[in-house]
Structure 1
């Protein structure tokens, strides 16, 4: 947990305002209290104020010092409605529709981030990834020069020698079902930059497949090869190699046999999965069988930080994702 300790300290050093749109959800309330007590961020809960306060009272959660933003009574609702209408009027949006939509806590929270009333948002304890992505893509949109929003997990495997002393980044495990080779290259580059800027490690990126350096011939392998070539071309400063089977990517002995000339094989700390099925299955296998801590899914590529949670998350998971979101907001 050395990484999380560093990130917690970074979050405390420059506190950001992080909005939690699932304000009356039990794990979210417990997490909000802990985040406030630890000083990781200034939390804003979105939802019906009476319901939130009553739920907190049932749980024994103290909300003193924690802001509650109620869309029904907020003096910012009109500004959010007008901004959302302007953003979407070319798509057939009306002011009446905009008001109905923005009252939804997810859209309300996203508008808070858009108009700088909050620095970042975390959701997903009860909502799906798609629920988060829709307002994110409609309102926040992608950062300049970024072609695709993707996700990553920070996987921490206790006692493991693989990756960076048991820490690896997995991508994309939550957003893009079947990325093109261009999108896969962009995902690899984004995750490498995340590893460097957020996790403070030198990324060694493995483009995963069921083939290693030409051992199999298939259109699915071709996509990974083309993605690897494009990523290397776009970012020659990064260590990216493939295609690599998982064992060749992280096990030095296997790498020496299968990919002896690779500067990544056997020591990868960033694993890029070829599609969402393999990525989602892969992270959950490691999480359950290796008793790993899976922090995320975090989003990368948005113009401002909004991040997802697994619906199976714990309150501690929410605390960690809020801390990471706060550090992203500092950038």
Structure 2
């Protein structure tokens, strides 16, 4: 009889707490879920007017959200902003807006990018190096490049000017650079939102990670007018719910909260690094929302932590890696130390 692989259920995505609870027979409330890169101290939800639930959103509601997104992401005047029910929906819609072509995903990175382009009939090279994508763009053998900056799961940073050059190369032949900035809130100096609006540059942002509001299902595409118009038509009217409009507007406009949160996340990430090192793992990188650690016994570490009620993220393509999110406030890194492996 084959023994079940305890990692197999959790390799596709983080956040599968129900599967972990079922697999290990431990109630959900007894788990410390560190399998995602979501801020454990979320933005405080503002009061939501009753009519946000009971009526269709109006154009003025959407306009206020888009203005808040411009503020929060420092979007330049030349760019258009499209709101959607999460960046995952945008990841799935973008491949449908182009004829099948040649796509390069710089990675390893978030797996849904390659999956979405493949499902729509594009020829996808995944993963490739940035140098490979640049060479393919230069010789005309590439239509779309996908880059996550900073990258998930290793936190790799790419120089914004280099990305702008790649976008220009692709745009010269009608191509795109899809730039996923899901974790750029913690490193705003990497963001190209302030220089968006040029042809071929398609940027994805969301309050799900940094603001800790993944369940809000709200995302944005910041791009040129032509791509924005196509996306808006594809999404249709009322793409964003009334409650999401209310919460998103407040969260994205609150620059004071964002500045304080960046400092807090830096402190928490440093404490987590210490705990992981003390627990016998090697910290490889990450962002201040998650850390990537390595162990030659990663499968055993994952399993032992799960049996102790601590869920982290393993990877099929890198069996020695574990990605660890920040423990919540009042939990601290001590629980990881208490579950030494």
Asked if these proteins are the same fold (TM beyond 0.5), I'd say: no
Q: Which is helix-richer, 1 or 2?
A: 1
Higher relative contact order (CA 8 A, sep 6+): 2
Give the TM-score taking structure 2 as reference length. Answer: 0.22
